[in-house]
Amino acid sequence: MTAYNIARLSAVLALAPLAARADPLLSGVLAPQVMITSDYRFDGVSESAEHPAIQGSLYWWRPDRTYAGIFVTQVDFRDPGKTSYEVDYYVGHHFNLKGTELTPEAMYTAFPDNRTWGPTYDFWQLKLKARRKAGKLAYQGEVSWVPEASYHAGTNWRLAGLAEYQLTPRVTLAAKLGEVWTHRGSDRLFYEVGGKVSGKTAAFELKYMGTDLKPAQCGYLRNDWCSPAVVGTLTFNLPYITLRRGS
């Protein structure tokens, strides 16, 4: 139940090293964003009852390539506790290994207003991502491990591959394919295909997303929450905040 997308912050990763070289006193960059999505989906399953959701992100980057951030989104599980929002806290570090960017990351996902009886929805996860570019093509592989998934679902493993093609300076095409294995739950294959148009202060992303879950495997969710869907997301990039030592 987490969906912040580090690819949306690629501009920060590209510009911040240049800023660090130009300003030796630079201690970090804060990049705030606001997003509106037509349907908050993670690994092919709707987590906003197929309704639009407002999201926010604050990403912090340091010149030593360490980063941290917070992602907040509306959710709607139609659960007895009427859970309405999710908060993801994450921290990681980018390593450059012979042209491959290797990124270990830890994330904690919380649902602060959940009042549903029983085990918690909150969970920890550890991730490892490897990303490489070849001309206009970028490809990434990632694996994540959750020791105890939501509602005591047990160990969760996730493996995914992403390919992005820079069609023009402002248009990117992307495809993603992955698999989730849960100890006490339904395993699923998920996929995404679509594109993004980026401007100086905003970007629009359109994706076709789906999963191989059958209607009966959606559990307490409504069956159509697992059906394929077209999802549009509008992202507003707010001005960067630069942090300098001694200020």
SS (H, E, C) 121-161: CCEEEEEEEEEEEECCEEEEEEEEEECCCHHHCCCEEEEEE
Mean pLDDT of 231-239: 94
Banded model confidence at residue 10, pLDDT cuts 50, 70, 90: low
Q: Model confidence over 18-64: pLDDT tens digits? A: 555 556 667 788 889 999 999 999 998 999 999 999 999 999 988 88
Question: Residue 193's CB: how many other CB atoms inside 10 A?
Answer: 15
Question: How many whole angstroms separate alpha carbon 1 and alpha carbon 47?
Answer: 7
Nearest one of 121, 77, 86 to 2, comparing CA atoms: 86
| Portion of the chain with pLDDT greater than 90, in percent | 64
Decide if pLDDT at 220 tops 60.
no
Least confident residue range of 1-5, 14-18, 144-148? 1-5
Mean pLDDT of the chain: 88
pLDDT value of residue 115: 87
Mean pLDDT of 3-8: 45
- 151 compared with 140, residue with greater pLDDT: 140
Q: Model confidence over 62-80: pLDDT tens digits? A: 888 899 999 999 999 888 8
Decide if pLDDT at 222 tops 80.
no
**Contact predicate 83/16, CB 8 Å:** no
What value, to the nearest 5°, has the Cα angle with vertex 121 and ends 127 and 220? 110
pLDDT value of residue 20: 56
Mean pLDDT of 221-229: 78
Decide if pLDDT at 9 tops 90.
no
Contacts 24+ apart (CB under 8 A), 211-214: 211/43, 211/44, 211/45, 212/188, 213/44, 213/45, 213/186, 213/188
- 1 compared with 134, residue with greater pLDDT: 134
What's the alpha-carbon Rg for the chain, to the nearest Å?
18
pLDDT value of residue 183: 92
**Contact predicate 72/55, CB 8 Å:** yes
Nearest one of 75, 76, 56, 50 to 232, comparing CA atoms: 50
Cα of first residue to Cα of last residue in the chain, in angstroms, is 38
Question: How many whole angstroms separate alpha carbon 10 and alpha carbon 166?
Answer: 13
pLDDT value of residue 62: 87
Write phi, then psi, for 50 (nearest 5 degrees).
Answer: 60, 20
- Residue 116 CB contacts under 8 Å (≥ 6 apart), including other chains: 79, 80, 81, 83
Tell me the domain boundaries of the chain.
Answer: 6-244
| Portion of the chain with pLDDT greater than 70, in percent | 87
Mean pLDDT of 173-197: 95
Q: May I ask the CATH class of domain 6-244? A: mainly beta
Banded model confidence at residue 6, pLDDT cuts 50, 70, 90: very low
